[in-house]
A and B are shown apart, each in its own frame.
Chain A
Amino acid sequence: MPIRIHVDVMLAKRKMKSNELAELVGITVQNLSILKTGKAKAIRFSTLECLCKALDCQPGDLLEFTDE
């Protein structure tokens, strides 16, 4: 997948656990795992907004495009 989500990097920076982030964002730990492992095919803007609020970051901090 050319678009990567660096949730694990931001989790480490904010010293937050996955289950805490999942609860703040309002998604299941399994769905968060799908994001972290790069298996997600799409992300809703609402989810991205909640992630940015919970991790206190910009969408650009989470998303990266790699030309594979």
Chain B
Amino acid sequence: MILVPFAYGFAWSYIEYFPQHWVFQQNFKIVGGFTPTIKVLAFVISMIKGAVVMYGLWVLISLFHLYEQGQIFKAANVQCFKSLSRTLFLWVAATIITEPLLTLILTMNNPPGLHAIQFSLKSADVTALVVGGILSVIARVMADAQAIEEEMELTV
């Protein structure tokens, strides 16, 4: 979880050495290259998605910690699944927010008329929405399982 900001920082620090198609699908030109200002601003904006990733990892750590303690159908587990579902929805929202901001920052040094704002919705984003919905249903089912387990625990 702690490595996420370092990974994002490393990626933006050495972005010019990565193959461009790995990093960003761009339909625009970046005039003047990646200046330090662009790198810092791009890092800050991309940390919006990074924060969502860190939150998702923190929820996963909490969930596996509960499993380690033998707690399978408890209220805390249900909350974790709801949080994971929320994380995936937030991931898609973060993608929609960060992509135009990133393109704006990357083209901020371009001459007038060559600034760009890019929006896109990829199949991976739709998949994330679907999986988020499935996790939401799983959380609902687990809430029922939790009620049944509580009743079983108090049945002598």
Binding site for B on A (CB under 8 A): 27, 31-32, 34-35, 39-44, 47
Which residues of the partner chain B approach A44 to less than 8 Å between Cβ atoms? 155-156
- In angstroms, Cα B156 to Cα A31, docked, is 6
Residues of chain A lying within 8 A (CB to CB) of residue B156: 27, 31-32, 34-35, 40, 42-44, 47
The smallest C-beta distance from A5 to any residue of chain B, in angstroms, reads 9
In this complex, which of A34, A35, A39, A41 has the most chain B Cβ atoms within 10 angstroms of its Cβ? Answer: A41
CB proximity of B105 to chain A, nearest CB, Å? 58
Nearest-neighbour CB distance to chain A for B156, whole angstroms, equals 5
B152 to chain A: closest CB distance in Å? 9
* B43 CB to nearest chain A CB (Å): 54
Nearest CB of A to B149, in Å: 12
Q: Check if B155 sits within 8 Å of A39, measured CB to CB.
A: no
A27–B156 Cα distance when bound, in Å, is 8
By beta carbon, the residue of chain B nearest A42 is B155
Cα–Cα, bound, A39→B151 (Å): 11
The reply on B2 being an interface residue by CB < 8 A is: no
A sample of 14 inter-chain contacts (CB < 8 A) reads: A34-B154, A34-B156, A35-B156, A39-B154, A40-B155, A41-B151, A41-B154, A41-B155, A42-B154, A42-B155, A42-B156, A43-B155, A43-B156, A47-B156
